[in-house]
């Protein structure tokens, strides 16, 4: 079954963008997933197709109108989750990515200006998701990030299924470091254990390296890992 993505945006030319290349692009051509773009301005008001207005209560910038956004959502709404990309949303996690990949698809709402009128967000029960603690010009780049994370997990997109199982965040640990030829480069040698042929020892080394990197770089994740009952490295 094809995983279906609908994008609601004021800038349709931004899609598919990088999703038309590499693994995602091949999967799109193979109809593993589909992409439909809806221009919110098509539902704008008046001769100029207005989509925004000044905020109640004053303040800088403009706010996207609830009636316009609701009409755009209504044109594509079904049983798929409606996701609004916004810095005030819940952080995107690998767990949520896996859940989305296991479903029928998603409808992604890309805001612009100061944001979208809260009433339509609540009326449509939109799930608000953030890709990080920083501000972008709009939701389009965040939508691309979310889609890339999901598409690569769809069946058949990645060549080796085990690749996804060993990646960062799959087990609350960051991924272990990788090495390839040449065995010595710029005076730096590959860790000797990786050339030993002892697969059990290699697995133990990789686990310890992943745990150490997580402890140093993401102590919040490392604490969750220890709290889960996993043994300390």
Distance CA 202, CA 22 (A): 30
- Domain 166-227 belongs in CATH node 1.10.1270.20: yes
How does pLDDT run across 119-144, given as a tens digit for each residue?
999 999 999 999 999 999 999 999 99
Confidence tier at 71 by pLDDT (50, 70, 90): very high
Q: Which CATH superfamily is domain 3-151 in?
A: SPOUT methyltransferase, trefoil knot domain (3.40.1280.10)
Query: Which residue reads 């009326």 in tokens?
Result: 123
Cα 92–Cα 34–Cα 155 angle in degrees, nearest 5 = 70
Domain regions of the chain by residue span:
3-151, 166-227
How does pLDDT run across 149-199, given as a tens digit for each residue?
999 999 999 975 545 565 656 688 999 999 999 999 999 999 999 999 999
Q: What are the distances in angstroms from CA 22 to CA 5, 105, 131, 141, 151?
A: 18, 20, 22, 17, 11
What percent of the chain clears pLDDT 70, i.e. is strictly above it? Answer: 95
Tokens of 230: 């996993």
Angle between helices 94-101 and 140-151 (to 10 degrees): 70
Confidence tier at 230 by pLDDT (50, 70, 90): confident
How does pLDDT run across 5-38, given as a tens digit for each residue?
999 999 999 999 999 999 999 999 999 999 999 9
Cite the DSSP H helix spans in 39-117. Answer: 66-74, 94-101
Q: What is the pLDDT of residue 160?
A: 56
């Amino acid at each position: 079954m094809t995983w279906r993505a609908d994008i609601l945006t004021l800038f349709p030319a931004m899609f598919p963008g990088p999703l038309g290349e590499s693994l995602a692009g091949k999967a799109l051509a193979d109809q593993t997933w589909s992409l439909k773009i809806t221009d919110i301005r098509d539902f704008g008001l008046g001769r100029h197709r207005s989509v925004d207005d000044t905020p109640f209560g004053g303040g800088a910038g403009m706010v996207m109108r609830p009636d316009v956004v609701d009409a755009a959502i209504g044109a594509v709404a079904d049983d798929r989750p409606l996701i609004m990309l916004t810095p005030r949303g819940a952080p995107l996690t690998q767990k949520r990515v896996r859940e989305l990949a296991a479903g029928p698809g998603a409808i992604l709402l890309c805001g612009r200006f100061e944001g979208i009128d809260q009433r339509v967000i609540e009326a449509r029960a939109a799930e608000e998701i953030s890709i990080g603690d920083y501000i972008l010009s709009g939701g389009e780049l965040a939508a691309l990030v979310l889609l890339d994370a999901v598409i690569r997990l769809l069946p058949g997109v990645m060549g080796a299924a085990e690749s996804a199982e060993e990646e960062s965040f799959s087990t609350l640990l960051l991924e272990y470091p990788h090495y390839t030829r040449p065995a010595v480069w710029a005076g730096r040698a590959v860790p000797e254990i990786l050339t030993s042929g002892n697969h059990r020892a290699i697995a133990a080394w990789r686990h310890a390296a992943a745990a150490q990197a997580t402890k140093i770089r993401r102590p919040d994740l490392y604490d969750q890992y220890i709290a889960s009952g996993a043994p300390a490295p």
